[in-house]
Amino acid sequence: MATTVPDKKTCPECRREYAGDVVSCPQDKSLLMGAISDPLVGTKLGKYEILSILGRGAVGNVYKGRQDEIDRIVALKVLQSRHLSDALSLKRFQREGKATCRLYHPHIITVYDFNVQEETGQPYIVMDYLKGVSLSEVIRTEERVKVARAINIFLQCCEALDHAHDQGIIHRDFKPSNIVLIDFDGDRDFVKVLDFGIAHLINDGSRTTMQRLTGSGDVCGSPLYMSPEQCRGTELDFRSDIYAMGVVMYETIIGKLPFTGKTVMETMRLHSEEPVPKFSTVRPDLYIPQQLESIVRRALAKHPADRHQSMKELAAELNAIAPDVKRSSILPAYQGKNFHKIQPYEQTFGSLIKLAKSSGGATGFMLTQLVKALKAIKRAVKRN
C-alpha cells in the first residue's frame, strides 16, 4: 500500500526535505517534489523496506530504504515499470548494476545488491545512502570552487575513474551531478562517484539543463560533457572519460562550461570543432595558475592521442602543481582591459614586503623603495 507524508517535499537535486508552504528549494531553487503517493513506498523489495522516494530519473526512481535484519539505511534505484518492456532501458539498467558491483573503491559509491523483484520483474540496485552535496550544487551555489579545494576533488575523481578503467569500465557520463561530496572522517570533500552506465534526465526548461541527459542510439552521454568522439558516436576508450574530466575541471575552476550551444547538436559541434576558450577570456576577473590551465586544456584536446593517456598521468600532473597551487589564491577582481597587466605585480608585493622587513640597512631601504615604485605603477595601470 502506498503511503504519503503530509506537507513533506523533497528537492530532486540536493535531496533536502522541507515542510509547509515551501515551493522551491532555498538552496538551488529547484521545484520541490510534493509528497505524492508512490506505489512502492511502504512496500518491500526483497529484504528492503521502501521508506520514501528521493528522486525520479528518466528511466529509474531512487528510494530511501532500510535493510531490516541489520537496520541499515540504503538507497535503491528501481527501473520504472513503464520501461520493463523497453529492451534498451532494461539493458542499460542491468549494465549499471553489473558494472558497479565490480567496483570496490572508497571514492565510488558502494553497491550492496543487484536483484529483480519476483512479483513485478522490476530490477533494482541497492547502494550506499549518501548524505552529501553534489559538485553541481556546489558550483551553482558558490559560482566556482577555489583552486586548492578543486584540485583535492579532482585527484579523488582521478582515483575513482582510474579504478573503473582498471576494471575495463568507461563511465561515459561523468559530470558534476554524478560527483557527491560527503563528510567522512573529518573530510567534508570526500568524493563519491555515481551512476555508471545510466544517467538522469533533468529538465527545468533552461538551455543547459535540457542537455544533461543520456540519449538513445549510438550517441550516449551528456552533451555538455561529451568528448568529440562521443559526440560523433564513434568507438570510445578510457580517454573519453579524461575529456569529460577536463570539462568538469574547467567548469569547477571558473564556474562556466567551455561549450554551450543553443541546441544539443550545436553543443556537440562545438566540442568537436571549436578551440577551448581561455580562462582569461571567459573570466578575466580571475587569476588561475597557468600550470593548472595547461593541464585542463590538455585533457580537453580534440584528439585522444593529445590528451593524458590515463587517469594516473592526469593525477600525476595535478599532484605536481598541488603544493604551489595551495599557496596561490584567486586574486581580487580588477575590472577593465588592463587587468592582465596588474596580475604579475600582485604575486610579487607580498614576498618583497616580507623581504624588506627582514632585511636591514641599505638592502631593506632599497627593497622598500622598490615596493613603493611597483605600487605606483599598479595604481597608474588601474587608472588607465
The predicted-structure confidence for 273-297, as pLDDT tens digits, reads as follows: 999 999 999 999 998 999 999 999 9
Q: Are residues 207 and 287 in the same domain?
A: yes
pLDDT grade for 73, boundaries at 50, 70 and 90: very high
Element (H, E) at 341: helix 339-358
Please give the single-letter amino acid code of residue 183.
D
Check: CB of residue 219 under 8 Å from CB of residue 238: no
Q: Residue 180 maps to which CATH number?
A: 1.10.510.10
Q: Are residues 193 and 45 in the same domain?
A: no
Q: Are residues 184 and 283 in the same domain?
A: yes
Q: Are residues 123 and 141 in the same domain?
A: no
List the grid coordinates of 226. Answer: 561529451
List the grid coordinates of 59. Answer: 528511466
Cα–Cα nearest to 268, from 198, 201, 205, 220: 220
Please indicate, yes or no, if residue 1 is contained in any of the structural domains: no
Please indicate, yes or no, if residue 22 is contained in any of the structural domains: no
Pick 46 or 74 by higher pLDDT. 74
Q: Residue 62 maps to which CATH number?
A: 3.30.200.20
State residue 44's pLDDT score.
85
Q: Determine the average pLDDT of the residues in 23-28.
A: 66
HSE of 123, CA atoms in CB hemisphere, 13 A: 19
Please indicate, yes or no, if residue 313 is contained in any of the structural domains: yes
DSSP 290: H
Q: Are residues 90 and 215 in the same domain?
A: no
Check: CB of residue 10 under 8 Å from CB of residue 16: yes
State residue 20's pLDDT score.
64
Check: CB of residue 151 under 8 Å from CB of residue 318: yes
State residue 283's pLDDT score.
93
Q: Are residues 75 and 107 in the same domain?
A: yes
Please give the single-letter amino acid code of residue 43.
T
Three-state DSSP class for residue 84: coil
Please indicate, yes or no, if residue 98 is contained in any of the structural domains: yes
Q: How many percent of the chain have pLDDT more than 90?
A: 36
Q: Of 94, 112, 128, which residue sits at a domain end?
A: 128
Rounded-to-integer distance, Cα 339 and Cα 181, Å: 34
Rounded-to-integer distance, Cα 224 and Cα 270, Å: 10
Q: Are residues 173 and 228 in the same domain?
A: yes
Range with the largest mean pLDDT of 60-64, 104-108, 298-302: 298-302
Range with the largest mean pLDDT of 11-25, 189-203, 246-260: 246-260
Please name the residue that has the C-alpha cell 528492503. 48
Check: CB of residue 62 under 8 Å from CB of residue 68: no
Domain containing 102: what range?
Answer: 38-128
The answer to which of 30-34, 179-183, 289-293, 303-307 has the lowest mean pLDDT is 30-34
The answer to which of 8-12, 101-105, 147-151, 269-273 has the lowest mean pLDDT is 8-12
Please indicate, yes or no, if residue 31 is contained in any of the structural domains: no
Q: Are residues 65 and 139 in the same domain?
A: no
Q: Are residues 236 and 346 in the same domain?
A: no
Please indicate, yes or no, if residue 293 is contained in any of the structural domains: yes
Catalytic residues: 173
Q: Of 286, 302, 327, which residue sits at a domain end?
A: 327
Please indicate, yes or no, if residue 187 is contained in any of the structural domains: yes
pLDDT grade for 347, boundaries at 50, 70 and 90: very low
Q: Are residues 136 and 118 in the same domain?
A: no
Q: Determine the average pLDDT of the residues in 191-209.
A: 55
pLDDT grade for 376, boundaries at 50, 70 and 90: low
Rounded CA Rg of the chain: 24
Check: CB of residue 124 under 8 Å from CB of residue 40: no
Cα–Cα nearest to 107, from 154, 147, 72: 154
Please name the residue that has the C-alpha cell 563519491. 192
On the question of pLDDT at 349 being above 60, the answer is no
Cα distances from 107 to residues 63, 127, 131, in angstroms, run 21, 13, 14
Q: How many domains does the chain have?
A: 3
On the question of pLDDT at 377 being above 60, the answer is no
Q: Determine the average pLDDT of the residues in 33-55.
A: 78
Q: Are residues 319 and 345 in the same domain?
A: no
Cα distances from 80 to residues 40, 84, 96, 127, 236, in angstroms, run 11, 7, 15, 17, 28
Q: Of 85, 108, 128, which residue sits at a domain end?
A: 128
Q: Are residues 113 and 45 in the same domain?
A: yes
Please indicate, yes or no, if residue 9 is contained in any of the structural domains: no
